[in-house]
Amino acid sequence: LTTFYKWDTRTQPRITHLLKLENCNTTVSELLIPLAWTTVTQQLRKVPDIFFWGQRKRFSTMPEIETSKRDSELFSPPSDVRGMTKLDRTAFKKTVTIPVLKVRKEIVSRLMRSLKRAALQRPGIKRVIEDPEDEESRLIMLDPYKMFTHDSFEKAELNILKQLNVSPQITKYSLELTYENFKSEEILRAVLPEGQDVISGFSRVGHIAHLNLRDHQLPFKHLIGQVMIDKNPGITSAVNKINNIDNTYRNFQMEVLSGEENMMTKVRENNYTYEFDFSKVYWNPRLSTEHCRITELLKPGDVLFDVFAGVGPFAVPAAKKNCTVFANDLNPESHKWLLHNCKLNKVDRKVKVFNLDGKDFLQGPVREELMQQLGLSKERKHSVHIVMNLPAKAIEFLSAFKSLLDGQPCSSDLLPIVHCYSFSKDVNPAKDVQQQAGAVLGISLEACSSVHLVRNVAPNKEMLCITFQIPASILYKNQTINLGEHFLENLMKL
């Protein structure tokens, strides 16, 4: 045993506290003694494993693992809620025994500053409660995994107790836990089949919680939806996506799991406000950082063509930055809310909105504007950016740039900069995206493009953005393909 706890001396005080229970007084809860000795037994049973592995690292991480495990044992819902499919909040009542310290109410604030280590740290549970037997006293809830007897206090804590004339005697208190005291993950872990994944997060879209449930979670879908509403202030509706985003308009079918069926929502992103019907348009709150990244690349006076604009998360910030914006979306609902959000954010005079197929937008309004913009004086300093955020298909639309413009090529500094999004399941996703885009354009982009990892969409599936300047040999008719050094130089300026 000596060798065991000297393996990592950081755990010695905790082990010592557990062993001192052998001489504990009768004020310790009868429930706490078995819990503590069970912990010691569990620790000792792990000794062979520790020496077998012979790794200090394995042992040093065990206290955190044990703490989490014990916390789930004491502060977890009753076991008989397992398999519940219709939420019954009353079934989550549970009584646990907590060590407490009795103190005079006038010294509570001063004492709590010195008992941070010893006090109970559990969200949703008060650490100080009234003494039911003495209105002039208060009970301080203590950590049931650290505090067993008066010997559990550290020397500094005992000194402050002595200064304030507080007895270090620990007594027990029966604390009733209810549904309100448990976290959403704890509730779902107790309800869903043991060993199965639980819902650890969701996308919040205004008042809507958007979940992607797995098959084993579907029998519990209405309960899960209600728990999400109960445990997240401001959420009044929980929905589940029931098909992939594979249709023309990029929206998806959804089922309301619990709460109101109102899909009209308002969101704030990067200090801009957007309103839309979530059931009819595409919106992903996980792209907030990407919207901001692209906006920061733009300078006042630049021109932005947003080929798949959605409800405006690229277009609105760009217009606010005094860029000239041409925004397009094929979905009539997205087009409607794009117009609405431009007005809502007071940039409607700076954004020209279109309701076209992406290819028609590129070969129509974009071509016309590029012919005008690129034909201006060589002194022009503004850049032209083209954003193509349709990861599933955007690379296919790059073919629209081939021989798009007539006449003599403009200065290489004025050539449009493309930000094209794509998915990749390749082991080298950046190279994969470069090769995909290059294959469509008929050139190699590996030496004259950059690739930014946007986010991990699923296991082994990444969303990326490839950025490059369209070569004049591609953009203009009757040009010889020549990827000169100036393309790489211009890329480095981004």
Enumerate the known binding-site residues for S-adenosyl-L-methionine: 291, 329-330, 357-358, 389
Residue 287, both tokens: 């792209």
Binding residues: 291, 329-330, 357-358, 389
- CA 382-387-391 angle, to 5 degrees, is 165
Contacts of 162 (CB under 8 A, 6+ apart): none
Cross-sheet strand order for the sheet of 208-211: 203-205, 208-211, 237-241, 254-259
Classify the C-alpha dihedral 263-265-267-273 as positive or negative.
positive
- Please state, in angstroms and as integers, the Cα–Cα distance from residue 151 to each residue in 110, 147, 240, following that order: 21, 8, 52
Widest CA span in the chain? 96
Structure tokens at 235: 């959420």
CB 74 within 8 A of CB 91: no
Neighbours of 379 (CB within 10 A): 6
Amino acid residing at 20: K
> Do residues 220 and 191 lie in contact, with contact meaning Cβ atoms separated by under 8 Å?
yes
d(CA 193, CA 446): 48
Q: Note the Cα 481 to chain centre separation in Å.
A: 44
What's the Rg (C-alpha) of the chain?
31
Q: Pairing mode, if any, of strands 128-131 and 461-469?
A: unpaired
Q: What share of the chain is helix, strand, coil (3-state, %, to 5)?
A: 40, 20, 40
Query: What stretch of H or E contains 43?
Result: helix 32-45
Beta strands in 254-349 (DSSP E): 254-259, 264-269, 272-277, 303-306, 324-328
**Angle 324-326-332 (CA atoms, 0-180°, nearest 5)?**
145
Alpha carbon distances (Å) from 481 to 105, 298, 441, 444, 451? 83, 28, 11, 11, 22
For 149, the token pair is: 């007897």
**Separation of alpha carbons 366 and 412, rounded Å:** 18
